[in-house]
Structure 1
Amino acid sequence: MTLILASRPNVYSSSPLDRIATRREDPGWIAEKLADPESLFVPVWRAKNLVRGNGEGNPEAVYVSGEMAHTLRIQEDGPWAFLGILEDRAVFALDISAAEDPVPLLPETLGSFVDLRSVGWGVPRPEASVLAHARGLMHWRQRHKFCSVCGNPCEVKSSGHMLRCTVCETQHFPRTDPAVIMLVHRGDRALLGHSSRFPRATMYSTLAGFVEPGETLEEAVRREVLEESGIAVGDVHYHSSQPWPFPGNIMLGFYAEALSEQITIDPEELKDARWFSRDEMRQPDRHGFALPRADSIARRLIEDWLAHG
């Protein structure tokens, strides 16, 4: 099997931030940067990010300066976390979900709060990575306020990157769940499946699934493909990874060589699965199906495979 390398970075990768984790434990420095009018804040409202120009096809992430944040009083309450340094300016994520309506908080010209998955980034943009970082971290902060060991409240530590139980002192860290996503291929054809969870009724995509405890990534690929489609897999080769903060995953992309062709789907996971030729996948509209979204690693796996055949 020819090794297929990633042709470019994935969307939500290539972060421009220096995470400078050592500063998270310096409360004096953090307090200084929180009060600095030059610091930048990445607001998150109910899992949505502030974006400008999305409707015009030229999306741009919006950061709020510390001066504006103070003027608009959006820095008063809600979870926050230090993300890193961008061109000598501290960057913080700030959750403003307590506001019933975020529109009055920000000038209309700044943009609007949207689901990142609705943004047509198309190609990797470093700023998309910052928004994804903020979204994922704030999602964790909003949903892990209590200790999973004893049930008591947690207090915020490490500038928003750790929660410590106020009673048993157990430390809790941000959750990232690994998931494998793979393009299964055999000869000049690739296996794509359709799930009822997909946003479009005609969309077919690569198979995917979560890694289980005590399992290697390659074992997870083979198990998931066999469970979902009945296809046995031999060689497995890594392609690339993609942060996917919807809500907190890291997608690990692979190519998997099929050893069989007879499909037997798991109806709990897929509504349909088919083998598609390269010609069909290059002209999906003509053949009555749609490929996954352009910002997904699934689409990258497909495009890089098509480029090598």
Structure 2
Amino acid sequence: MLMIPASRENVYTGSPLDRLSGKRDDAEFIAAQLADDAALFVPVWRSRSLMRGLEEGRPEAVLLSRAGAEAVRMAGGPWAFLGLWEKRPVFAVDCSRTDDPLPLLPPEMGTFSDLRGVAGLLPEGEASVLAHARGLMHWRVKHLFCGVCGNGTEPRNAGNALACPHCGAQHFPRTDPAVIMLVVRGDHCLLGHSHRFPNVKMYSTLAGFVEPGESLEEAVRREVMEESGISVGLVRYHSSQPWPFPASIMLGFYGEGLTEQIVIDPEELQDARWFSRAELRDPAANGFALPRVDSIARRLIEDWLAA
């Protein structure tokens, strides 16, 4: 199996932020950034991002000034320091506690929408920043209480960590590693259709979470065998993609298919098939659809076709 390099960066990567993680515990520094008139705030409402230009097909992120951020912060949600963007401080702020945050903002600021639908169309860097804010705020609103003793947690590390004042436990954002793989055998590749796919015609690469004590290569082989009954030999890394929907990182691989007969796990897949390069180049004519363009699954398929 050939090494197939990534043709370009995946969506949600290439963040323009200098995260300055070493300054997050510097209270004076964070206070100065919050007071900076140039500070920008990334609002998140119930896991949706504020954007405009959606109807025109030219979406762009809407970042708030301090005044706009103060209005939505009155809803009482968490906030966190994300870093510097071209020397300007950037914070995430969650406004999920209000039923409709738009009246709190200046008119015609845009709408709160699902980032996944338009991420590939956003200007460079914006999808990464919005995804960063979304993932961190999702973690904050889901971890109000200590997982050790059940008492309420308090923010630390400029909102990037939580601490329990009762038992002293510290909690940090969790990212779950998941392998995603295109299994190749000759001039064909293996794609599956999951019960969970919203598009009834979509076929995509197989994927699954890494288990404790398991290497990434072992996870690739196990998941493919469990879901499709196909044995995988050589495994090659391709690229990775943050996927904060809600809290994963997708680790992309190519796998060498050693067997052909497919035996699906009906709880995981509704169908799985071997697809030829010709079929993949014209999916509509062959009665199926490929994954969305913002996904690493689509990138794995496209880079294999181009190799």
| TM-score, length basis structure 1 | 0.97
Cross-structure match for 1:43: 43
Aligned partners of 1:81, 1:55: CA distance in 2, in Å?
A: 30
Secondary structure of the residue that 1:302 maps to in structure 2? helix
Q: CA 1:6/1:122 → structure 2, altered by over 3 Å: closer, same or farther?
A: farther
Cross-structure match for 1:64: 64
Contact in 2 for aligned 1:54/1:120 (Cα 8 Å) = no
Contact in 2 for aligned 1:13/1:243 (Cα 8 Å) = yes
Runs of 4+ in 1 over 6 A off after TM superposition: none
Secondary structure of the residue that 2:303 maps to in structure 1? helix
Cross-structure match for 1:281: 280
Q: 1:134-172 CA distances to partner (integer Å, 9 max, x unpaired)?
A: 000000000011111111111110001111111110111
Q: 1:16-50 CA distances to partner (integer Å, 9 max, x unpaired)?
A: 00000111011112112212221000000010001
Q: CA 1:284/1:115 → structure 2, altered by over 3 Å: closer, same or farther?
A: same
Contact in 1 for aligned 2:59/2:122 (Cα 8 Å) = no
Secondary structure of the residue that 1:64 maps to in structure 2? coil
Aligned partners of 1:306, 1:56: CA distance in 2, in Å?
A: 31
Cross-structure match for 1:209: 208
Contact in 1 for aligned 2:68/2:105 (Cα 8 Å) = no
Q: 1:106-143 CA distances to partner (integer Å, 9 max, x unpaired)?
A: 23422110011121525883110000000000000000
Cross-structure match for 1:151: 150
Q: CA 1:123/1:54 → structure 2, altered by over 3 Å: closer, same or farther?
A: closer
Quote how far apart the aligned CAs of 1:67 are: 3.6
- Alignment of structure 1 residues 1-309 onto 2, 5 Å: 1-70=1-70, 73-76=71-74, 77-119=76-118, 121-122=120-121, 125-308=124-307
| TM-score, length basis structure 2 | 0.97
Contact in 2 for aligned 1:51/1:61 (Cα 8 Å) = yes
Secondary structure of the residue that 1:192 maps to in structure 2? strand
Contact in 2 for aligned 1:10/1:124 (Cα 8 Å) = no
User: Which is worse superposed, 36-45 or 275-284?
Assistant: 36-45
Aligned partners of 1:30, 1:5: CA distance in 2, in Å?
A: 40
User: Which is worse superposed, 60-69 or 1-10?
Assistant: 60-69
- Which runs of 5 or more residues in structure 2 are unaligned? none
Percent identity, aligned pairs only, is 66
- Which runs of 5 or more residues in structure 1 are unaligned? none
Aligned partners of 1:243, 1:221: CA distance in 2, in Å?
A: 18
Quote how far apart the aligned CAs of 1:68 are: 3.4
Secondary structure of the residue that 1:140 maps to in structure 2? helix
User: Which is worse superposed, 277-286 or 106-115?
Assistant: 106-115
Contact in 2 for aligned 1:52/1:59 (Cα 8 Å) = yes
Q: 1:251-304 CA distances to partner (integer Å, 9 max, x unpaired)?
A: 000000000000000001000000000000000000000000000000000000
Amino acid at match of 2:57: G
Contact in 2 for aligned 1:37/1:66 (Cα 8 Å) = yes
Aligned partners of 2:174, 2:58: CA distance in 1, in Å?
A: 31
Count of aligned positions = 306
Q: CA 1:123/1:3 → structure 2, altered by over 3 Å: closer, same or farther?
A: farther
Aligned partners of 2:82, 2:297: CA distance in 1, in Å?
A: 27
Quote how far apart the aligned CAs of 1:55 are: 2.0
User: Which is worse superposed, 141-150 or 231-240?
Assistant: 141-150
Secondary structure of the residue that 1:303 maps to in structure 2? helix
Q: What RMSD in Å do the two structures reach over aligned CA positions?
A: 1.2
Aligned partners of 1:247, 1:264: CA distance in 2, in Å?
A: 30
Secondary structure of the residue that 1:286 maps to in structure 2? helix
Aligned partners of 1:279, 1:120: CA distance in 2, in Å?
A: 28
